[in-house]
Structure 1
Amino acid sequence: MNIENRSDMQLAEKAARERWEMSDDQRNSVVSQLVAIIADPNAKNREKIAASRALAAFDRLNVDQQPKSRTNVNLNLALSEKKEDLRRRIERLTGSDDDQGA
């Protein structure tokens, strides 16, 4: 895809936003052309803005494709100790089974 005008830039933005299927070479070519337009001192502001929007759409696509980082949290609750502590508290509040049987 050759980007020659704002309509082409808008089409590139739409392609990125809607995740149209394209090869890595095609994507790299479009991104390179968009960067060149943004860097061109002779480009009109409207062209630079359209190129920036399209480039942002491709950047969002890259961010969405990156694997989400997961943080594994090990709480290490020592459940058996907690369970035993709760059992003792309940026994103190209600009276232990040994006291009732004696």
Structure 2
Amino acid sequence: MLTFNVTAATEVMGACGRADITAEAGKYLYVFELKVTDNSKDIATKLSEAKDQIIKNKYARRLTDKTVVPVALVLENNSKSRDKSDTPVCEIVALEKVSVD
């Protein structure tokens, strides 16, 4: 059986704000900022907003011995994909590692 040792948390306080999700895996700490859109025309704008927020709020600045990997993530709310239970479905439409150097 394949297993992963990943520890995840939400709204973890950073230097100047709270990242949506952090996930520790091995020697890495992934810091995710998520944006959601209902319109595929807004994907690039939302991705830019997420990247700007990571940089502005210094989410990559952490007191840790791990390599911090900031990631901007955009989800599209796809109401056409809802099943009979009317459960909303979102899909990842943009994902980008953010350079903060």
Greater relative contact order (Cα < 8 A, sep 6+):
1
TM-score (norm 2): 0.27
Structure with the higher strand share, 1 or 2: 2
- Bigger Rg, which one: 1
